[in-house]
A = this chain, B = another copy of it.
Amino acid sequence: MRVISTIKEMKSAVREVRGQGKSVGFVPTMGYLHNGHLTLMQEAKSKTDFVVVSIFVNPLQFGVGEDYEDYPRDLSRDSSLAESAGVDIIFAPTVREMYPKGYATFVEVEKLTGVLCGKSRPGHFKGVTTVVTKLFNIVEPDIAFFGQKDAQQSIVLKKMVEDLNMNLKIEIVPIVREKDGLAMSSRNSYLNSEERRAALALSQSLEMVRELIASGERNNLVLVDEIRKFISREPLARIDYVEILSVPDLEKTEFLQGSNLIALAVFIGNTRLIDNMVLEG
């Protein structure tokens, strides 16, 4: 496995691979890899001939006062994990390599980014779509793999690829959870043991609402209210949003109908966690 840090070298490595007629799979990450990431890599490994993983904590997608500085970083640990997952190249550029002095170009998906995390974190998705466009141009993958945990991100990136006629496919891989249900996230490392227990409120509220729906409840106001009540019982939890929206348009709906996304963002102490469930129509 090679670790590459310059755009030029990355482009030339992938050109060589493509010249051999191999397909390229790509897993963009911010590093501090967990089993969710490793599942993406296995998926890439099974569907393409050559797998590139990027590790880049993208300053553009963090807001003022967010955890850009504190975001966990451990390239040597990540390299071992990626290597054992059969990854061929890790692309780990510096911030200056990605955003040289005078950088000025941005990609933005409108509408879809005005709700959920886009509303709570203004500018976040502009940072995501910009860096992902750059990474797609650098790696030129046939398929890029993203996790369903970032549900809105998946929908926004699929829309971007479609709108801009990019030459690749996006595959979304299901959420990977800890045994007790907590969705895997690099940010889980922020939690102390008390918070780790409290964090179960997210996945458990989704389980609870799944049963409510199974028992016939279809009114989204009622469902959202039940989730809010459930999470509010946990003293360490502070809700950012609980929403039920149509998929893929992310519009408010009164009743469950068609495909729906139930999405939550909840602060546990100072750590903001997200989780979601998609109900196929």
* Residue ranges of A at the interface with B (Cβ–Cβ < 8 Å): 7, 11, 102-112, 129, 133-134, 137-138, 140, 159-160, 163-167, 249
Contacts and interface: CB of A to CB of B under 8 A. Distances in A.
A129 B164 CA distance: 11
A176 to B, nearest CB: 29
A104 B159 CA distance: 8
Contact of A105 (B102, B103, B107, B134): B107
A138 B165 contact: yes
Contact of A7 (B102, B129, B160, B165): B165
A112 B104 contact: yes
A108 B109 contact: no
Nearest to A111: B104
A169 to B, nearest CB: 13
A105 B7 CA distance: 25
Say how many copies of this protein the assembly contains: 2
Contacts of A103: 163
Nearest to A10: B165
A7 B162 CA distance: 11
A107 B107 contact: yes
Contacts of A104: 109-112, 159, 163
Contacts of A159: 104-105
Given A103-B163, A105-B107, 18 more contacts: A7-B165, A11-B165, A102-B111, A102-B249, A104-B109, A104-B110, A104-B111, A104-B112, A105-B110, A105-B129, A107-B107, A107-B164, A133-B164, A134-B163, A134-B164, A134-B165, A137-B167, A138-B165
A19 to B, nearest CB: 11
